[in-house]
């Protein structure tokens, strides 16, 4: 059986490292593909010769194409429209929260500043999205 991929869309190298460490700490052993900007994320998702990830962890403040636009394009593409997308951001802007849900985010999580709180948030995220949740069939 092919391993389920998580696409982490994050431009900050420290946040990438922190997220990967939190995933590892919580025994989430899925393959993690990291996209450093919105364009790279969309290029990865729209290539038909690649497997669709089981989950996208999407930051909002990204270079080239911002996270809300990435989300909008994911939802407007037949191949990716049902893909679970969790916004994982440090943004506290109410408009970002509203836009995230308006354009179809499945969840919106603010990154805690404390690593232990962040690791716990990743543990719960992994438990729900990778174990408990029944994903839609991906074409």
Per residue in 84-108, pLDDT (tens digit) is: 999 999 888 999 999 999 999 999 9
Evaluate whether residue 34 is within a structural domain.
yes
SS3 46: helix
Percent residues over pLDDT 90 in the chain: 63
Evaluate whether residue 35 is within a structural domain.
yes
- What is the strand order of the sheet 55-58 is part of? 31-35, 5-9, 55-58, 85-89, 107-110
Range of the domain at 22: 5-132
Does the structure show a pLDDT above 80 at 16? yes
Number of structural domains found in the chain? 1
Q: What is the CATH number of the domain that holds 10?
A: 3.40.50.2300
- What is the mean pLDDT of the segment spanning 110-114? 85
Q: Are 30 and 47 in contact (CB under 8 A)?
A: no
Q: Are 50 and 4 in contact (CB under 8 A)?
A: no
pTM assigned to the model: 0.92
Rounded CA separation 26/110 (Å)? 19
pLDDT digits (tens, 9 = 90+) for 39-78: 999 999 998 777 889 999 999 999 999 999 999 999 999 9
Evaluate whether residue 139 is within a structural domain.
no
CB neighbourhood size of 14 (10 A) = 8
């Amino acid at each position: 059986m092919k391993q389920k991929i998580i696409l982490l869309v994050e431009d900050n190298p420290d946040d990438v490292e922190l997220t990967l460490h939190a995933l590892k700490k919580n025994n989430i052993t899925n393959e993690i593909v990291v996209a450093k900007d919105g364009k790279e994320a969309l290029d990865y998702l729209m290539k038909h010769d690649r497997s669709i990830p089981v989950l996208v962890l999407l930051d909002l403040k990204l270079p080239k194409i911002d996270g809300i636009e990435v989300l909008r394009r994911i939802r407007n593409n037949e191949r990716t429209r049902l893909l679970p997308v969790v916004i994982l951001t440090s943004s506290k802007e109410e408009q970002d929260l509203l836009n995230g849900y308006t354009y179809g985010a499945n969840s919106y999580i603010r990154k805690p500043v404390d690593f232990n709180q962040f690791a716990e948030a990743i543990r719960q995220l992994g438990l729900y999205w990778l174990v408990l949740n029944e994903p839609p069939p991906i074409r």
